[in-house]
Amino acid sequence: MPSLPAHAWHGHNIWCITQATLELPAFLDAWAQWLADPERPRLLHVLAVAATAPSHSDLQAAANAQPEHTGLIDELSAQCWGLLPGMHRLRLSCRPVGGQLLLTLCVGPTTDFAAWLGRHPTGPCNPSTALPPQGERSVTVLGSGIAGASTARALAERGWQVTVLDAGSTPAAGASGLPVGLVAPHTSPDDSPISRLSRAGVRAMQHAMHTLLQAGTDWAPTGVQERRLPGKTRKGGAPHSWSHELAEAGQAWTCAAPPPAPPNALWHAKGAWLRPARLVHALLQHPNIRWQGQAKADALQAVDAAQGTIWQVLQDGQVLAQSARVVVACGPGSAQLLASAAASTAATAAGAAGAAGAAGADGAMADDGAHPTDTLPIRSLRGQISWGLMAEVATPTPAASPAPGASTNTRHTPPQTTHLALADMWPATPVNGNGSFVHSVPTEQGLAWFAGSSFDRVNDQPVVLPADHADNLARLQALLPDTAQALAPLFANGVRGWAGVRCSVPDRLPVVGPVVHASEGLWVNAAMGSRGLTLALLCGELLAARWHGEPLPMEAELAQALEAKRFNTRKTIRP
């Protein structure tokens, strides 16, 4: 690591230190120096390549050699799990110093990461497009689900004044208002992009949930069991190497679930349940964020101003907000707003061409011939959860052994639940695989169970439908037959429901990037599909890192796979 004059980073909000090979002593010294400096940058990136992940004994040796850094080594050690070959973002010292040290650790041969290291030399970061000067950075984020709140938080932490507008009267008025959901990695034998992305997402979420939320109330680090049921389209399963040469790092993520789970079930140790609205509220709690509800945007309009394009957010022709940068994170509502933005850009371009005497009948076509409203192929996907209070469920009593001398021929038929052990009825942890089941989640009315979720591509309204309760019960019967048996009477009479609308694009990856066919400054962060709780925070961080020219929180190839423009080149990436 190059030695750093103490004052080099003064006056910079974001600073980057590059280590071609991870040297723990130099890294720890830089971290301590940053902590001790009252004029430290708010974000300190450290990029380092390690041929193999730091082992327990490496960290122990560092602690012995530098006892003054024991606290830092403990914090680092706590995050050194699951470091498979590839890129990992470890978030350090977030509390109580006000700032973050982001260690991006690349595990594998240095040659694989050489170009990447070269792009981020030690020093300030270089944004690819000019940012307004510090103090003049304001942005409008549309939508305050988990995607909008994550974006707002990531930008606020980088000094932006963020106005968040939402159609609802509270944050998390859309799909992110779901009462409880699962955060869990996706696995695939070939470790596909969505699998790698989901791990980066889970790591980011683990950190956010630990630092911003109350465990046991807002979320719980339970782990998640995944059952692999016949008839599922996805092959599933972890890469072969995770049982062999990469066993330690791989199994920190996913391994065979221990009995009594079925033999092919998986165990995701870092899985969790989350009440996402709690996280949304916590993310929005930042002095640089202003939230405004009942603010449904119906159009976006690009206006030329002296300092460049300004985006106006319109409702019934009135301007709700305006700024040079706008991020659309409206879930299923995003498509319509993006189409209006593209139409506005095309109209402006046609007007300019017309004024120059060059507009043809086709003046509203974009440069590449695509129609301006041909934006993102976002599709709605309504879903419903069935739930109830645990106190309402008949508690199974253990099958009593006959009293001494009692006749064994008694023709007593016990109630249906009596042969169920409590553990069969309430699995030890959340289970997913064909829908999901979670229990012991605290709600205002008491501890609750949740079974879900349905998938409905026809009805795009968030309404609770009896047919979906039946679907959820059928799914539960396949997933956890004993639980389904115990809950069936409640499904027949008195089950509660919650419905929301997810949205996705055909390759089922999120969309994060500048909007094509629109003037500069308009970005999108949407299409989280069924994995928004795992991916949205990471996507918000990606967007902010791109604006600031920072090292990305994921491999460049994955960031590219999320680009909004991928649909315009007609190239899709297999999830």
- d(CA 358, CA 349) in angstroms, rounded, equals 11
Our finding on whether 148 is near ligand FAD (CB under 6 A) is yes
Give the nearest distance from C-beta 24 to ligand FAD in angstroms: 35
Where b means 16+ CB within 10 Å and e means fewer, 541-559 reads bbbbbbbbbbbbbbbeebb
Q: Does 123 sit near ligand FAD (CB under 6 A)?
A: no
Among 227, 502, 517, 546, binds ligand FAD (CB under 6 A): 502
Choices 121-129, 221-229, 443-451, 526-534 (CB under 6 A): range interacting with ligand FAD:
526-534
54/462 with CB nearer ligand FAD: 462
What the block records as the tokens of 280 is 């949304």
Question: Cis before residue 38, ω within 30 degrees of 0?
Answer: no
- Are residues 39 and 33 in contact, defined by beta-carbon separation less than 8 angstroms? no
C-alpha dist (Å) from residue 155 to 288, 309, 324, 327, 540: 9, 20, 14, 11, 8
Q: Which stretch binds ligand FAD (CB under 6 A): 76-84, 225-233, 281-289, 326-334?
A: 326-334
Q: Does 145 bind ligand FAD (CB under 6 A)?
A: yes
Burial of 365 (0-12, 13-18, 19+ CB in 10 A): middle
- The answer to whether 178 contacts ligand FAD (rule: CB under 6 A) is yes
Number of residues that bind ligand FAD (CB under 6 A): 43
By CB under 6 A, tell whether 173 contacts ligand FAD: yes
Closest to ligand FAD by CB, 219 vs 426, is 219
Nearer to ligand FAD, 92 or 165 (CB): 165
Reading the block at residue 495, the tokens are 């089950």
Do the Cβ atoms of 543 and 327 come closer than 8 Å? yes
Tokens of 20: 């071609």
Residue range at the interface with ligand FAD (CB under 6 A); choices 22-30, 97-105, 372-380, 529-537: 529-537
Eight-state DSSP code of residue 397: P
Site for ligand FAD in 444-483 (CB under 6 A): 452-453
Point out which span in 162-170, 203-211, 238-246, 486-494 binds ligand FAD (CB under 6 A).
162-170
Specify whether the CB–CB gap between 73 and 62 falls below 8 A.
yes
Residue 40 touches ligand FAD, criterion: CB under 6 A: no
123: its two tokens? 């020093």
Instruction: CB nearer to ligand FAD: give 425 or 528.
Output: 528
DSSP state of 4: -
In 126-255, which ranges are continuous DSSP H helix? 146-156, 193-212, 247-253
Comparison of 79 and 534: residue with beta carbon closer to ligand FAD: 534
3-state DSSP assignment of residue 243:
helix
- Rule CB under 6 A: say whether 167 interacts with ligand FAD: yes
Number of neighbours of residue 335 by Cβ within 10 angstroms: 23
Stretch that binds ligand FAD, among 102-110, 156-164, 168-176, 559-567 (CB under 6 A): 168-176
**Residues binding ligand FAD (CB under 6 A):** 142-148, 165-168, 173-176, 178, 181-182, 295-297, 329-331, 333, 337, 383-385, 436, 452-453, 500, 502, 526, 528-534, 536
